[in-house]
Amino acid sequence: MPADERAIIHVDMDAFYASVEQRDRPELRGLPVIVAGLGPRGVVSTCSYEARRFGVHSAMPTAQARRLCPDGIYVWPDHARYEAVSDQVFEVFHEVTPLVEGLSLDEAFLDVTASQRLLGSVESIGQWLKATIRERTGLNASVGMGPNKLLAKLAGEISKPDGFRRITATHAAAELAPLPVGRLWTVGKVTEQTLHRLGIRTIGELAACDTARLASALGRQVAGLQALARGQDDRCVEPAQAEQSIGAEHTFDVDVAELAMAEAWLLRHCERIAARARQRGLQGRTVTVKLREPPFETYTRQARLPAPSASAGELFGLARGLLVTWWKAQRRPRLRLLGVSLSGFAAERQQDLFDGAPDRRVTDQVQDRINSRFGTGSLVRAGVLKTREQD
């Protein structure tokens, strides 16, 4: 199908983690909220628009954010809660089209070309998405629409926050021309600096520049860059492939030197990834433990379960053996980071009704029900409790 006949929607939740915190804690609304690691090695995950006015942004060291915004509200990330909200958002996406390409927990492309026959124009679909997400989650989403991914994403970005905008193929050149060249997809810092040295600072200037002059500085990527500058983008929306692995990890503010504490964090990770696997109807067979010594030497240890599983107890039993073996082999064991992941997935198998062995999964099922009703983390195994002292 010609690119100008496609209908692509880009949805991006506004300041997602911070917005979830403000939704769940009304006293934070209107305040500069920074979701970040709070230790000396912490990094900002995201922040509210109130905090961005002080120059705070994602991926900034938390220490720098504190200097810029000393009166901000600093909050530890609650990834399990954000994932639960993300699942709600993606359920809305899939009610519109099966062609959903997730970019992160809070961002996706949707190809709604065929959906228009049943649901109306791309604007109607975009309005429904925005309103339904707001109704079900209480959060704002910025919605951009266009004939391709480039224009849809730019439309959403330039209308944030709480954005809603469509860029058509006819008006693409005029819409793109005044934007900084760094806003263009594939233009990173190095390419941006090269273009600036050539006197090119806007997308319009890039589109109009002599190709031969650009080629001497940028080489083969010139044709593709200038096509993008004219609003041309042939990339298709690629629905997510089957999940390859589910993992969790934690970087410690103070290096862990006690095996018991490392085991407690390992159990916490196993509970989290096992719960996520069960939510997705998956069972995995391969357990991988990631261990990082200070300053940055990383090891991985891997083993296979006898049969696919999503039981936290079974995952922990295997992972703990890998951790202990590594720990005992070190002269002076210290951990800066510890993680665990589950892979080698198979569809969840039906339990054998005639299997008389004790079912360790009953504990997981009870935990799932309680945490679903009262909130993630309401019920955990006793071994996890000591990790909360570091939260």
CATH class label, 245-390: alpha beta
Report CA 35 to chain centroid distance, whole Å. 14
How far from each other are the two terminal CA atoms of the chain, in whole angstroms?
51
What is the rounded distance in angstroms from the CA atom of residue 92 to the CA atom of residue 97? 9
Same fold, 16-79 and 245-390: no
**Over its length of 391 residues, how does the chain's per-residue pLDDT go in tens digits?**
555 589 999 999 999 999 999 999 999 999 999 999 888 878 899 999 999 999 999 989 999 999 999 999 999 998 889 988 998 999 999 999 999 998 888 999 999 999 999 999 999 999 999 999 999 999 999 999 999 999 999 999 999 999 999 999 999 999 999 999 988 888 888 888 989 998 999 999 999 988 888 888 887 788 888 999 999 999 999 886 656 788 888 888 789 999 999 999 999 999 999 988 888 888 999 999 999 998 778 999 999 999 999 999 999 999 999 999 999 999 999 999 999 999 998 755 444 434 434 455 555 655 555 544 444 444 444 555 555 555 5
Range 172-229: architecture per CATH: Orthogonal Bundle (1.10)
CA distances from 92 to 21, 125, 205, 331, 357 (A): 21, 11, 39, 52, 41
Contact 311, 361 (CB under 8 A): yes
Sorted by where each begins, the domain ranges of the chain are: 16-79, 172-229, 245-390
Binding-site residue ranges: 12, 106
- For residue 5, give the amino acid letter: E
What is the rounded distance in angstroms from the CA atom of residue 83 to the CA atom of residue 104? 10
CATH class label, 16-79: alpha beta
Is residue 107 part of the annotated active site? The answer reads yes
What secondary structure letter does DSSP report for 138? S
Residue 352: predicted pLDDT: 43
Instruction: Single out the catalytic residue among 107, 263, 271, 314.
Output: 107
What is the rounded distance in angstroms from the CA atom of residue 115 to the CA atom of residue 126? 12
The enclosing H or E element of 110 equals: strand 107-111
Task: Assign 101 to helix, strand or coil.
Answer: strand
